[in-house]
Structure 1
Amino acid sequence: MDSFFSLARWMPGLVSLLSYRRAWLLPDVRAGISVAAVALPVAIAYAELTGVGAIVGLYSCILPMIVYALFGSSRQLIMGPDAATCAVIAAVVTPLAAGDAARHWQLVMTMTAMTGFWCLIASRLKLGILADFLSRPILMGLLNGVAITIIVGQLSSVLGFTFTQSGLIERLLAVPSYAAQVHLTTLGISVLTLVVMLLSRYFRPQWPSSLLALAIAALLLWLGGPERLNVAVVGSLNSGLPDFQIPEFPPGLIRELVLPALNLAMVSFVSMMLTARSFAAKNGYDIDADTEFRALGMANIASAFSQGFAISGADSRTAVNDANGGKSQLVSIVAALAIAMVTFFLTTPLQYIPTAALGIVLILASFSLTDFRGLWALHKSDRSAFWLAWVTFISVLLMGVIPGIALAVLLGLFQFLRNVMRPTDHLMGMNDDGIVHTMGRNEEVKAITGVLIYRFNSPLTYFNAAYFKRRVLLLLASEPEPAKSVIIDAVACFTHQDISVMTMVGELHKELKRKGVHMVMAGRRGQMTQWLKQAGIRVGEEGIFVYPDLYQALRMTHSYQEHSADSTASSMETDHVTATYSRGVKR
C-alpha cells in the first residue's frame, strides 16, 4: 500500500493509466491523432523561431509528451513547444552562439536542461505557489509583448528579406526601407498560406488548418521547384534518432544562462498552470501545483536529452484535445507516437515546407496570445492592474524579451510586497441586530461610542509593523469622540510570532495607555497570551486584554466601561449596546 501511494505521488499519470477505462480508448485515440496533426506544423514553426533545424521541433514533442503523461496530474494538458518559451530561448542563445549553428543547438539544449533542473528544485522546495506569483495582468502584458516581438520578427520570412537590425523598435522603423526587397513569390506563398488557414478555420474549424496550409504550400513548392522559384524552404531532414549529445555545463556558460533559465522556468510554469487549471476546472478534477512543477522539469530534461528545446503547456493543443473528447493522459502518448512515425519514416515531404508559410503559422499563433481588449478593460476594473500590465508590455517592446520577463518578475514581487506592506484596513461597527460588520458604505452599521474596532487585512511582520502602529494611532486621533478602548481583530493579522511585531505591540500599548485607552486583542487567545508574555508584555489588568473573539471582547469592554462610567447617560448607552450585542449572539 505504501508503494502505491508513493507511486501515486511521483507518477500520478501512470497511476491514472493503470486504472484506465476501455470506454476512453476511442476518444483518446481520436484526440491524440488530432493533437498530432496540430502539433506537427507548430513544432516545425517553433523550431525555426528558436533558430534550430525543423527536426528539432519534432524531437521536442515525442519524449516530453510521454514523460508528462506519466508524471503530470492533468488529464487534458498537452506539452510541447510554445511561442513564449521559444522567443525567450532565441533571445538568450542567439547572441551567445555568434552565428555558429552547432553551438546554437548545444546552447539551446543546455538552457532547456537548466530550465528543467530549476523546475525540479522548485518542486522539491514546494514552490508550486509561484503559479500565483505572476499576476494575471502582468502575464497579459508579458504575453502581448512577446506576441508583437514574434510577429515583427517573422515579417522578414513572410516578405522574403532579412532584417539586419536586432531590436524590435529598430526593425519597425526600418520596415519601409525594406519595401523594395520584398520577394513577390515568397509573398504570394505567404498570402496563400494565410488564406487557406483562415478559410479552413471558418468553414471547417475541426480540421488542422495549419497542417492543411503547409501541405498545400509544400505541394506547390515540390511541383514548381524551390530552386527555380527562389523560395526558402525547410530543407532536407535527417530521419530517425538524433545523434546523441550531452548538454554542456561549463562554469562560464552557466553564469550566462542561469538567470534566463530561471526566468524561463517561471514563465513556463505560470503559463502552463493557467492552462492546466482552466481545463481541470472544466472537467471537474484538481491538479497539484508542486507535482506539475516536477512534471514540467522532467519533460524539459527529457527534451534536452532528446536533442530538443524547452517546452511548456500548449493551450491550443490542449484545447484540441478537450474539443475531441480526450479523457486521459493516453492522448499525449498517442500524439507522441504519431509524431514519432513522421519523424522516423515520413520526413521527406517536410523538406518542401516554405519558411514563409511557417512564418504565417507563427504570426497567427502569436495573435492568439494577444488580448489588447482585455488589457484596456483593466482601465475600468482595476487601475493598478492596468498600469502593471501596460508597463510590462511596453518594457518587453523597448527592452527585449529577457529584460521584460525580469521586470515582470520584479513587478510581481513589488506588487506582493506592496499588498503586504500597505494592505487595506477597516474600522468595524455593529448593526441593530448586534452583528459586527466592517463600516463603510453600509449605513446600517454604526460605530460603537467609546470603542474603536480595527481590522488589518494582512499578516503582521517586521516590514509592516510600523505602518500598523501609525494607522491605529491615526484612526484613533480622527475619531469624533475620544475612544476609551481599541479592539484589534487578531485573527486577521497575528498569524505568526515575530519579535519585531511584539516590540511594536508593546510600544503601541504604552502609547495608548498614556492616552487613557485600553488595548484589547480579539481572537487567538491562547497564542496571543503566550506571545505577549514571552515578549514581556503584561496581559489583563494594567496590560493588554485578550479575549477569544470580537463579541466576547465587546461584552467585556462594555462591562468594564459600565463600571467606570462617570454619568448615567453613558451607563444607559452602554446598557443599550450590550443588550443589542446580546441579541446578536443569540441569533
Structure 2
Amino acid sequence: MAALAKLVPVVGWLPGYRRAWLSVDLLAGLSVAALVVPEGMAYAQLAGMPPQTAFYITPVALLLYAVFGTSRQLVIADSATVAVLSAAAVGALAATGSAEFIALTGALAVVTGLFMVLAGVLRLGRFSQFFSESVLTGFVTGLALVIAVKQVPKVLGVDGGGEGFFDRVWLIVRHLGDTHLATLAVGAGCVALMLVVERFLPRVPVALIALIAGIAVSALLGLDGHGVDVVGDLPSGLATPAVPDVSFADLVTLAGSAAGLALVTFAEAIGPARSLARKHGNTIDPDAELRALGAANIGAGFFRGYPVGASLSKSAANDLAGARSAVSLLTAAVVTAVVALVLTGLFAPLPEAVLGGIVLVAVSRMVKVGELRRLWRLRRTDFVLAVVALLGVLVLDVLPGLAVAVLVSVLAVIYRAARAGISTLGRTSDGTGLVADGSPVPGVLVVRPDGPVFFANAVAVHEAVIPLLGGARTVVVDLESTTDLDVPAADMLSDLHADLASRGVELRLARAHREVRALLAETGFLDRIGADHLHTTTKAAADAARIR
C-alpha cells in the first residue's frame, strides 16, 4: 500500500479523510468553480480554442490531479501562460480555429503530458531548481505583456493583428480612432468592476461577478444589436475522449515545443505547490507532481482540449476558502461538468470584451514589477537575467523567448558553477575542528571548493590552489561539496597531484563521497596517491599531515 500510495497519492490520503473537512472542501470547490468558468472561457480563447473547450478539459484535469498530485491546495486547470505558449506552438503549423489546429493542440497537450510523466518516472523533479526564478520572473512578465496586448483590441472593439509585440502595439495606436465606444464601455466597465470588487471584497470571485454582470447587461440592452461582439450559442454537453487525429510527423514537430512547455508548466507549478505545503506543514513530492501534471495534460489532450497548468488565482481562492484536501478539486470538477451539461445557453449574450477584460485583470498579476525592483536592489546580475528573458519574449515572440529563458537559465547555472572559488580552512579556537578563515595549520593548506567540482570549474580549482601554497608541505582538499565526480575533474586532481609533487608538496583528500572514491579508484588515481592519503574528515587529514 505504501508503494501504491507513492504512485497514486489519493490511495494514501483518502482513507484518512475526516468528515469534518467535507463542508470546507465543498465550499472551496465552489470557490474554484466560480473562477474556472469565466477564466476558463477566456483562457480557451488565448489558446486559440472555442470558449466551451474549457468545460471539456477542466473536469478531467482537476480529477486526474486530485488522484495523482501531492498538493492539497494547488489547482491544475487553465493557465494563461500555458495557453499562450500552446497557441504560439500550434499557430505556426495551422490556422487558428481550424480542425487541424484543434487536433494539433490536443496532440501538443498529450505529448507535453508524456514528457512530464516520463520525467517523473525518471525522478527528474529535482532539476526544476535549475530554471532560475529570476529568469522565470522576466519571462512571465514579458508573456503577460504579450497576452495583454492581444486582448486590448477585443476591449476596444478594433481589429487585432500584427506580427510580434511591438507591431501589435503600433497597430493598436494607429486604430485608436476606430474604437467602438459601446464595446469600450463594456470592456472598461468590466475591468473597473473587477478592480473595485477586488479592492473592497477580496474574497469574492471577481471574474464571476464580471461574467454575470456582462451577461445581464448584454441581455437587457441587446448589445449584440449595437455592434458589440458576443460569444453566441455554445454547444452543451461534455466532449467524448478521442485520440488526436495527427500524424507521427506532426508529433515529432511538436516535440520541441512540448518539451519547453513541460518545463515551464512544472516550473510554474512547483513553486506555489511548495509554498502552500510549507504554509500548512505538508510535503510535496516533485516527481509525483510531474506525473500528476503529465496525467492532467494527457487527459486534456484526449478530451479535445489544450495544455493545462497551475492556476495561481484559483489555488489562492482554494486555500483562502480553507481547502483541506483534493476533494475541493473533485467538487469543482463536478460543478464545471454540470455547467457544461445544462447551463451553456446562458453564455450566448456574453460580450467578448468582458472575456478580454477578465484576461487583462488576471494577467496584471503576472507583471512582476515589484519583483524586478527587488532584483535590481538586491543583485543586479539576477535583474539582468530577468530583463534578458523579458526582452526575449517581447522582441523574438513567445517560443523563441522561451528558448532564450531556458538558455539563460542554463548559462547562469554553468557560469556560477564555473566561478565557484575555494575557501581556506583553519583550526577553531579550541583546536577541535577546522572552519573557514580559522587559524592556519602550520605547514598544511586546507582548501574546500565552494561548490561541486566538475568539468566547467576543474581547471579554475587547480589554478586557485597553487598561489595559496606559501610554505605548505601538504595540501588537503575537502570534497564534501562534490557528490559525484566527472572524468575531467578526476583528471584535474591527478594533474594537481603531479604538479604539487613536482614542488615537493603532498596531496591529501578528505570527505570524498562513495561515488567520488569509486571513480578515483577506477582511474588509478587512488593507487598513485595512496589509500592512506584519503581521509574521512578534514581534521584527520590535517593531523596526518602534521604527524608526517
TM range (shorter): over 0.9
Match of 1:483 in 2: 472
- How many residues align? The count is 547
Matched, 1:33 2:30: yes
What pairs with 1:36-435 in structure 2 (closer than 5 Å)? 36-242=33-239, 245-434=242-431, 435=433
Counterpart Cα distance in 1 of 2:453 and 2:400: 33
Q: Give 1:225 deviation, angstroms.
A: 1.8
CA contact (8 A) 1:239 1:345 kept: yes
Is 1:504 the equivalent of 2:492?
Answer: yes
Structure 1 stretch displaced more, 82-91 or 531-540: 531-540
Cα–Cα, structure 1 residues 143 and 540, in superposed 2: closer, same or farther, change >3 Å? closer
* 2:434 aligned residue: 436
Q: TM-score w.r.t. structure 2 length?
A: 0.95
> Whole-Å Cα distance in 2 between the matches of residues 305 and 149 of structure 1?
28
Q: Distance in 1 between matches of 2:513 and 2:144?
A: 53
- Give the unaligned 5+ runs of structure 1: 440-444, 561-587
Given that residues 76 and 308 in structure 2 are in contact (C-alpha distance below 8 angstroms), is that contact kept between their aligned partners in structure 1?
yes
Q: How far did residue 488 of structure 1 move?
A: 1.1
Cα drift, residue 7 of structure 1: 2.7
Residue deviations 1:219-264, cap 9 Å, x none?
Answer: 1111222331111111110001236542133133123211111111
* Alignment partner of 1:559 is 2:536: no
**What is the identity, as a one-letter code, of the residue corresponding to 1:121?**
L
Displacement after TM superposition at 1:380 (Å)? 2.8
Instruction: Say which is worse superposed, 418-427 or 29-38, in terms of deviation.
Output: 418-427
Closer, same or farther in 2 for the Cα pair 1:209/1:180, shift >3 Å? same
Deviation string, structure 1 residues 195-223 (Cα, Å, up to 9, x no partner): 21122112222211111112111111112
- Shift in Å, 1:175: 2.5
Residues 404-413 or 535-544, more deviating: 535-544
Change (3 A) 1:338 1:533: closer
Q: Residue 195 of structure 1 aligns to which amino acid in structure 2?
A: A
Q: Displacement, 1:17?
A: 2.1
CA offsets per residue over residues 50-101 of structure 1, 9 Å max, x none? 1111100121211111111111111111111001001101112223222552
2: CA distance, partners of 1:273 / 1:541: 45
**Identity %, equivalent residues:** 31
Q: Given that residues 297 and 308 in structure 2 are in contact (C-alpha distance below 8 angstroms), is that contact kept between their aligned partners in structure 1?
A: yes
Look up the SS of the partner of 1:455 in the other structure.
Answer: strand
Equivalent residues of 1:52, 1:101 under 8 A apart: no
Deviates more, 1:453-462 or 1:40-49: 453-462
Aligned to 2:439, which of 442, 446, 461? 446
Is the Cα–Cα contact under 8 Å of residues 539 and 545 in structure 1 kept in the other structure? no
**Corresponding residue number in structure 2 for 1:546:** 534
Q: Distance in 2 between matches of 1:498 and 1:245?
A: 46
Per-residue deviation, 1:546: 2.9
CA separation of 1:457 and 1:243: change in aligned 2, threshold 3 A: same
Give the 3-state SS of the residue equivalent to 2:49 in structure 1.
Answer: coil
Taking a change above 3 Å as real, the CA distance of residues 277 and 527 of structure 1, as seen in their structure-2 partners, is closer
**CA RMSD across the alignment:** 2.2
- Larger Cα Rg: Structure 1 or Structure 2? 1
Distance 1:208 1:125 in 2: 39
Q: Which amino acid aligns with 1:46?
A: Y
Partner SS, residue 234 of structure 2: coil
> Residues of 1 paired with 2:96 and 2:507: CA distance?
70
TM-score (ref. length: structure 1): 0.89
Q: 1:472 aligns with which of 447, 465, 470?
A: 465
- Any runs of at least 4 consecutive aligned residues in structure 1 with deviations exceeding 6 A, and if so which? 525-530, 538-544
Check whether the contact 2:480–2:512 (CA below 8 A) recurs between aligned residues.
yes
Residue identity opposite 1:523 in structure 2: R
- Choose the corresponding residue for 1:461, options 435, 449, 454: 454
Distance 1:559 1:540 in 2: 21
